[in-house]
Amino acid sequence: MSLQILAVDDSRTIRDMLKMALTQAGFETSLAEDGMHGLEVLDGMAPDAIITDINMPRMDGFGFIEAVRAQDKHRATPILVLTTESAPELKARARAAGATGWIVKPFDPEKLVRALRTVAGPGGA
């Protein structure tokens, strides 16, 4: 089963690493540069899961998560936060905004793929 993933990160390097890891896992991957761009890309798709950074220009990850959750069709879409941040209060704020999980950079591609399959696939496809 091919999962469709939206990855939002202002770092070109991270976007490239995500694209490579997710494509190798057989996922269809769409990329966005920040929260505002993420909402634009999301408008034309129905992803199985979303990955977002927290610290981004124009709209940060918290604002992006809240904006995604405000849309009926994306209320249940799993959202994984991928960030260098690890402070408990930021994790709590992300969960309050609607995040499903939290992964700290640098990420292990295999663990990320496993996490996506767990949250997005039926029965962890």
Give Cα separations from 85 to 15, 55, 75, 80, 107 (angstroms): 17, 9, 24, 13, 12
Greater pLDDT, 2 or 27: 27
Position 101 scores a pLDDT of: 94
∠ CA 64-67-72, nearest 5°, is 135
For residue 59, tell me if it sits in a domain. yes
Position 122 scores a pLDDT of: 66
> What residues make up the domain containing 77?
4-87+98-120
Q: Are 23 and 2 in contact (CB under 8 A)?
A: no
For residue 92, tell me if it sits in a domain. no
Q: Are 29 and 41 in contact (CB under 8 A)?
A: no
Position 102 scores a pLDDT of: 94
Kindly tell me if the per-residue pLDDT of 55 is higher than 90.
yes
Position 124 scores a pLDDT of: 43
For residue 31, tell me if it sits in a domain. yes
Distance, CA of 125 to CA of 116 (rounded, Å): 9
Q: What is the percentage of the chain residues whose pLDDT exceeds 90?
A: 90
Number of domains in the chain: 1
Task: Identify the band that residue 121 occupies on the pLDDT scale cut at 50, 70 and 90.
Answer: confident
Q: What is the pLDDT of residues 10-54, one digit of tens each?
A: 999 999 999 999 999 999 999 999 999 999 999 989 999 999 999
Matching residue, tokens 């029965």 = 123
For residue 93, tell me if it sits in a domain. no
For residue 43, tell me if it sits in a domain. yes
For residue 65, tell me if it sits in a domain. yes
For residue 125, tell me if it sits in a domain. no
Give me the long-range contacts of 117-124 (CB less than 8 A, separation at least 24). 117/3, 119/49, 119/78, 119/80, 120/3, 120/5, 120/48, 120/49, 120/78, 121/1, 121/3, 121/48
Q: What is the mean pLDDT of residues 64-78?
A: 96
Q: What is the pLDDT of residues 83-95, one digit of tens each?
A: 998 899 999 999 9
> Looking at residue 12, which CATH number applies to its domain?
3.40.50.2300
